[in-house]
């Protein structure tokens, strides 16, 4: 299988790096979440600056996936505040800022437009072709004209190396191809932030490379990204910071060098010794 | 004729041919013996099938028209009731459940009588007649369509709900993450995928609807059954005419079977093995399933 040609100017397709309104794109403060009686996030705080790539690692069940799902309010939180682009996500404050009330569905939807998300299982829309998947939200959510959305969509497809597949349905594509289209679909909304929830975990080994290649290119071009992943090579190569989570808390964070060569916490050492 | 040959012809086709033969033989050939016995007059049967009078043609049109509109109302109500049942907002759930409970829990004939005669007589609600372009819809027909549709909606609700639940929750999440509102998520992403699951049972429902319209005779609506019932009363040929009436219904439901498989194939877009989704009409007519079963069993011995 030939390596797909990933363009070196991915963000060119959407008119360059989307400019968020603040320097701190993500500001999560003491986020708490329970699933019933299970306390899955315990005072998790994380700041992500503009153009930063943060990779979250940790054993399964550590809450890392739940945490990034909270960032676009796919999960409710029971305590703390999450700001993306300076906007409080999912809630509005009432009673003088002491209580959080879930925001209106429309407002939440508007906030999500700025946050792209890539899922472990791709979640492409099976009744739409690759191109239709990409232009769906720009046309129906953003109100972009059909022609413009199609042009952007084709440019994105070309840049993730799938120009020839625009009329294919997801079930006619490999996992790696589907995931690249899912990335293009998220990018088409010109998000200020991209969330990746274990984007290569459901892929056959030979397809992981092509997806990571797209993600690396995005990071290099300055997209602000949070990636939950077990791909340590990817973390080492493009992450600005690596965050280790375990049992619902942030155990340790630092540059990839610090984290991989000289972790300070025992739990990080134990985890890395198993995975590296 | 051995069982194997019977199966090879295809159960369904055999059934169809068998029924037609039986009816035709009886109607054309025999007559009851003895004094004062029923004399079969085959031309009543054949005429109403081969050269139907305008009355019969109208009746067929009415049956079809009522069925289509009532089914449409049923689908729309079913979608809303299904979403009501699945809503987080409790009053929506209560309303949806109440509606489904009432209309599935009482006989359609009682609903028709109560909501038409009952309401009219007590002057609680007078069904109006509606002018719809060139068509003047009589109050009883309007009532018939609406009540059939509302009744159907209660059954469709469960079908639609099953369809929605069959859609991978990841689809909703992907739609949400792209900034879609609930309405967009439903209309663009979830319902088109649920449709694939909904359409086969929906076809069944419409097949039922075509036949259930016969209950509208209670409101003296001249659809297929009432018309034939009246004709047979006038001519005293119930054997020939109800036989013909049955054939007309059979024709409608059979034709619908073809349309249904065509629709199912259209909606199979993007699914694994699109081509095998639902048997084609030729396969249906040939009763392929039994043929296959037969072929397998022959191969096994």
ipTM of this predicted complex?
A: 0.92
- Exposed/middle/buried for residue A237 (C-beta within 10 Å: 0-12, 13-18, 19+): middle
Tell me, letter by letter, the H, E, C secondary structure of chain B. CCHHHHHHHCHHHHHHHHHHHHHHHHHHHCCCCCCCCCCCCHHHHHHHHHCCCHHHHHHHHHHHHHHHHHHHHHHHHHHHHHHHHHCCCHHHHHHHHHHHHHHHHCCHHHHHHHHHHHHHHCCCCCCCCEEECCEEECHHHHHHHHHHHHHHHHHHHHHHHHHHHCCCHHHHHHHHHCCCCHHHHHHHHHHHHHHHHHHHHHHHHHHHHHHHHHHHHHHCCCCHHHHHHHHHHHHCCHHHHHHHHHHHHHHHHHHHHHHHHHHHHHHCCCCCCHHHCCCCHHHHHHCHHHHHHHHHHHHHC
Which is it for the CA torsion A165, A231, A33, A52, positive or negative? negative
Query: Which B residues, 242 through 271, put their C-beta within 8 Å of a C-beta on chain A?
Result: 269-271
Structure confidence by residue, pLDDT tens digits, A103-123? 999 999 999 999 999 999 999
Separation in Å, CA of B182 to nearest CA in chain A? 8
Is the CB of B170 less than 8 angstroms away from the CB of A123? yes
Q: State the nearest Cα–Cα gap between B61 and chain A, in angstroms.
A: 35
- What residue ranges of chain B have pLDDT lower than 50? 1-2, 5-6, 32, 272-301
- Helix, strand, coil tally for chain A in percent (to 5): 40, 25, 35
Torsion B270-B254-B75-B67 (CA) sign: positive
Q: Which residues of chain B lie closer than 8 angstroms to A128, CB-CB?
A: 270
- Nearest chain B Cα to A134, which residue? B178
Nearest to A126 among B181, B182, B193 (CB): B193
- Cβ pair B173:A116 closer than 8 A: no
**10 Å Cβ neighbour count for B102?**
13
Please tell me the predicted confidence (pLDDT) of residue A239.
95
The more confidently predicted of residues A4 and A196 is A196
Could you tell me the maximum CA-CA distance found in chain A, to the nearest angstrom?
A: 60
Closest chain A CA to residue B187? A140
Nearest Cβ partner for A141 among B180, B192, B269? B180
Phi, then psi, of A101 in degrees rounded to 5: -120, 135
Could you tell me the domains of chain B? Answer: 52-297 (1.10.3720.10)
**Closest-CA distance of chain A to residue B100, Å:** 28
Structure tokens at B139: 């109050």
Output the average pLDDT for chain A. Answer: 92
Rounded to whole angstroms, the Cα distance separating A129 from A65 reads 28
Q: Which of residues 11-70 of B touch A (CB under 8 A)?
A: none
Q: Do B170 and A121 touch (CB under 8 A)?
A: yes
Q: pLDDT tens, A140-181?
A: 999 999 999 999 999 999 999 999 999 999 999 999 999 999
3-class secondary structure, A39: strand
Q: Which two tokens stand for residue A275?
A: 């995975």
Q: Is B182 on the interface with A (CB under 8 A)?
A: yes
Of B171, B177, B179, the CB nearest to A74: B177
Task: Report CB contact under 8 Å: A136, B171.
Answer: no
Which of B17, B186, B179 is closest to A73 using CA atoms?
B179
Taking the Cβ of residue B192 and every Cβ of chain A, the question of whether any pair is shorter than 8 Å is answered with: yes
Query: Residue B184 has which token pair?
Result: 């967009």
Give the chain A residue whose CA is nearest to the CA of B195.
A127
Instruction: Return the residue of B nearest to A74 by Cα.
Output: B173
Q: Are B181 and A106 in contact (CB under 8 A)?
A: yes
B169-177 and A105-112 are packed helices; what angle lies between their axes, rounded to 10 degrees? 70
Instruction: Note whether B171 contacts A125, CB cutoff 8 Å.
Output: yes
Going B242 to B248 to B249 to B254, the CA torsion angle's sign is positive
d(CA A225, nearest CA chain B) in Å:
15
Q: What is the DSSP letter of A101?
A: E
Distance from CA of B289 to the nearest CA of A (A): 27
Q: With CA atoms as reference, report the closest residue to B115 among B139, B142, B95, B143.
A: B143
Other CB atoms within a 10 A radius of the CB of residue A224 amount to 24
Contacts for B75 with CB less than 8 Å, ≥ 6 apart: B152, B153, B156, B160, B202
- Residue A139 pLDDT > 70: yes
Which residues in A lie closer than 8 A to residue B194 (C-beta atoms)?
A: none
* pLDDT for A247: 94
| CB-based contact A186 B177, cutoff 8 Å | yes
pLDDT digit string, tens, across residues A214-257: 999 999 999 999 999 989 999 999 999 999 999 999 999 999 99
Query: Distance between CA B9 and CA B2 in Å, rounded?
Result: 11
Q: Which residue of A has its CA nearest to B270?
A: A127
pLDDT of amino acid B30: 54
- Say if CB B291 and CB B11 are below 8 A apart: no
- pLDDT value, residue B276: 40
**pLDDT over 90, % of chain A:** 84
> Contacts of residue B272 in chain A, CB cutoff 8 Å?
171
Indicate whether A16 pLDDT > 60.
yes
Give the whole-angstrom CA distance, residue B261 versus residue B204: 11
Per CB-CB distance under 8 Å, the chain A contacts of B173 are 74, 119, 123
Residues of chain B in contact with residue A141, where contact means CB-CB under 8 angstroms, are 178-180, 184
Give the chain B residue nearest A196 (alpha carbons). Answer: B177
**Residue from A125, A156, A165, A182 whose CB has the most chain B CBs within 10 Å, to mutate:** A125
Say yes or no: B170 contacts chain A, CB-CB below 8 A. Answer: yes
Mean pLDDT of A47-55: 95
Q: Sign of the C-alpha dihedral, residues A88, A90, A92, A93?
A: negative
Rounded to whole angstroms, how far apart are CA atoms B195 and B174? 19
With CA atoms as reference, the chain A residue closest to B181 would be A109
pLDDT band with cut points at 50, 70 and 90 for residue A3: low
């Amino acid at each position: 299988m030939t390596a797909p040609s990933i363009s070196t100017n991915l963000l060119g397709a959407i008119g360059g790096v989307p400019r968020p309104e603040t320097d701190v794109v993500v500001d999560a403060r003491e986020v708490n979440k329970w699933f019933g009686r299970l306390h899955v996030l315990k005072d998790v705080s994380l700041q992500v600056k503009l153009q930063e790539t943060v990779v979250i690692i940790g054993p399964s069940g550590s809450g890392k996936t739940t945490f990034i799902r909270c960032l676009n309010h796919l999960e409710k939180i029971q305590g703390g505040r999450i700001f993306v682009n300076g906007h409080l996500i999912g809630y509005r404050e009432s009673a003088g800022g002491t209580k959080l009330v879930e925001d209106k569905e429309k407002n939440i939807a508007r906030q999500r437009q700025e946050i792209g998300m890539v899922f472990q299982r791709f979640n492409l829309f099976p009744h739409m072709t690759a191109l239709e998947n990409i232009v769906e939200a720009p046309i129906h959510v953003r109100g972009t004209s059909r022609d413009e959305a199609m042009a952007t969509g084709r440019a994105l497809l070309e840049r993730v190396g799938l120009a020839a597949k625009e009329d294919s349905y997801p079930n006619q594509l490999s996992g790696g191809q589907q995931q690249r289209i899912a990335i293009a679909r998220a990018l088409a909304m010109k998000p200020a932030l991209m969330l990746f929830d274990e984007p290569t975990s459901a892929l056959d080994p030979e397809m992981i490379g092509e997806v990571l290649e797209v993600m690396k290119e995005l990071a290099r071009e300055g997209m602000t990204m949070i990636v939950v992943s077990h791909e340590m090579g990817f973390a080492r190569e493009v992450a600005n910071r690596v965050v280790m989570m375990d049992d619902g808390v942030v155990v340790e964070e630092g540059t990839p060098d610090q984290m991989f060569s000289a972790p300070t916490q025992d739990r990080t050492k134990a985890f890395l010794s198993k995975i590296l | 004729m051995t069982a194997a040959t019977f199966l090879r012809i295809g159960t369904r086709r055999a059934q169809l041919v068998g029924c037609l033969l039986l009816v035709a033989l009886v109607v054309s050939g025999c007559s009851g013996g003895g004094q004062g016995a029923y004399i079969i007059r085959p031309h009543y049967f054949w005429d109403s099938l081969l050269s139907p009078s305008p009355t019969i043609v109208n009746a067929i049109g009415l049956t079809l028209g009522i069925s289509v509109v009532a089914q449409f109302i049923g689908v729309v109500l079913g979608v809303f009731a299904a979403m009501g049942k699945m809503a987080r907002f409790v009053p929506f759930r209560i309303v949806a459940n109440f509606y489904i409970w009432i209309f599935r829990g009482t006989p359609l004939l009682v609903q028709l009588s109560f909501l038409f005669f009952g309401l009219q007589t007590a002057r609680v609600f007078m069904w109006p007649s509606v002018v719809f372009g060139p068509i003047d819809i009589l109050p009883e027909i309007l009532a018939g369509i609406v009540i059939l549709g509302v009744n159907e909606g209660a059954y469709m609700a469960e079908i639609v709900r099953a369809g929605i639940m069959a859609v991978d929750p990841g689809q909703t999440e992907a739609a949400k993450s792209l900034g879609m509102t609930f309405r967009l998520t439903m209309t663009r992403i979830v319902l088109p995928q649920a449709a694939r699951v909904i359409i086969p049972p929906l076809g069944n429902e419409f097949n039922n609807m075509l036949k259930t319209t016969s209950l509208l005779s209670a409101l003296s609506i001249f659809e297929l059954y009432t018309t034939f019932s009246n004709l047979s009363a006038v001519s005293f040929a119930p054997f020939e005419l109800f036989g013909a009436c049955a054939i007309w219904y059979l024709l409608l439901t059979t034709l619908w079977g073809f349309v249904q498989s065509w629709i199912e194939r259209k909606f199979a877009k993007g699914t694994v093995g699109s081509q095998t989704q639902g048997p084609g009409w030729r396969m249906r007519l040939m009763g392929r399933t039994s043929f296959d079963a037969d072929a397998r069993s022959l191969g096994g011995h």
